Amino acid sequence: MTRILVTGRTGQVGSALYERLATRKGILFVDRSEMNIAHPEDVHLFLRQIEPEVIINAAAYTAVDQAESDENMARCVNRDGVLAMAEWVDSVGGLLVHYSTDYVFDGSKAGAYVEDDAANPLSVYGRTKWEGEEVIRESGCRHLILRTSWVIARQGKNFIRTILRLGAERATLNVVNDQYGAPTSADLITDSTLALLDKIELEDHHLGTYHLVASGLTDWHAFACFILQVAAGMGLPLKLKPEAVQAIPSSAYAVAAKRPHNSHLANDKVRQEFGIQLPAWQEGAEPVIRSIVAEIMQK
Ligand SMILES: NC(=O)c1ccc[n+]([C@@H]2O[C@H](COP(=O)([O-])OP(=O)(O)OC[C@H]3O[C@@H](n4cnc5c(N)ncnc54)[C@H](OP(=O)(O)O)[C@@H]3O)[C@@H](O)[C@H]2O)c1
């Protein structure tokens, strides 16, 4: 019997989980070809065959702008497939660990968002992720909903790779500086998830919704400059110097989906309840940048 099923093996968080856990017994990692979450009936069928006790759902429809014109599919993946997993877990008294996002908030709060603040997503992605959270809570299954933000990893598409690619091609770049958040490494998410799971085994009252983000705050413009500084310090040839990155407001950068200005998630609850240390975002970001730069320099 498979004890733990992990979805989204090819994603940023799924890959980090895979790196840590692949050799452990009783854990099965699946990708879209094995269990397509957009099809709840297939999910039910697959889960009945595998019979997991714990599901870690690292799969999601994460293409934020594309979701604006692909709402049905985003909802199938982020709500309906999630409900199928919640129903299974509930039927066996198992546990669902599910990731969610800062984009469930509208970003209008003056300070950091706490877990109980009212959601008001601005985008289809944010709305479908919120609906996914809600169906989990309504299902009554034992669950951990872990909201994270600005995920970065060695594997997969992310802001670091985009900046390094553009930095090699261009001498100037505009980046928005009025969206604030904490870049959070997939390794930190993985390590924290595993620490949470250890505690949950013993104490059920810790179940619920948590913000799982690195500490501190930055904006995309400052983060882009940080990436370029680390890369330049390693000797990566770049056309773009950090001082040539222009800060612009979101209103000057046309994208399909609206993003919250304030993505600051308070992480006190997870620290207080579980004693988990969530370091400053730079501590997680720098090794990821270094690793991606080293990979580029080897090519
Ligand atoms: N990325 C961020 O900045 C960010 C921010 C806040 C919260 N989050 C949340 O954190 C979690 C992990 O995000 P991530 O950055 O690791 O995402 P990601 O890199 O985009 O990976 C998403 C994963 O979901 C899989 N997937 C998508 N549709 C699927 C389907 N129909 N059936 C099965 N698998 C499917 C993808 O498979 P394919 O490779 O086949 O597409 C991929 O493995 C998600 O819940 C996300 O909402 C992410």
How far does the centroid of ligand 1 lie from the alpha carbon of residue 9, in Å? Answer: 9
Does the C-beta of 212 come closer than 6 Å to ligand 1? Answer: no
The first and second tokens of residue 8, run together, are: 């989204």
How far does the centroid of ligand 1 lie from the alpha carbon of residue 171, in Å? Answer: 32
User: Which residues are known to be catalytic?
Assistant: 125
Could you tell me how many helices (H) and strands (E) the chain has, helices first? 10, 12
The pLDDT value given to residue 198: 85
Does the C-beta of 221 come closer than 6 Å to ligand 1? Answer: no
Backbone angles phi, psi at 146, to 5 degrees: -115, 105
DSSP three-state, residue 121: coil
Which amino acid residue places its CA nearest to atom 45 of ligand 1?
Answer: 99
CA 95 from centre of chain: 19
Does the C-beta of 32 come closer than 6 Å to ligand 1? Answer: yes
Mean pLDDT of the chain: 95
For residue 60, which atom of ligand 1 is closest to its CA?
A: 24
Tally of CB atoms within 10 A around 298: 6
How far does the centroid of ligand 1 lie from the alpha carbon of residue 172, in Å? Answer: 30
The pLDDT value given to residue 205: 79
Q: Which CATH architecture has domain 4-157+182-214?
A: 3-Layer(aba) Sandwich (3.40)
Is the pTM of the predicted complex or chain greater than 0.95?
yes
Give dist(CA 108, CA 67) in Å, integer: 22
Residue 203 or residue 296, greater confidence? 296
User: 71-84 pLDDT, tens per residue?
Assistant: 999 999 999 999 99
Backbone angles phi, psi at 237, to 5 degrees: -70, 125
Give dist(CA 86, CA 93) in Å, integer: 10
Give dist(CA 51, CA 181) in Å, integer: 38
Give dist(CA 130, CA 118) in Å, integer: 11
Does the C-beta of 82 come closer than 6 Å to ligand 1? Answer: no
Does the C-beta of 11 come closer than 6 Å to ligand 1? Answer: yes
Contacts of 10 (CB under 8 A, 6+ apart): 31, 32, 156
User: 95-110 pLDDT, tens per residue?
Assistant: 999 999 999 999 999 9
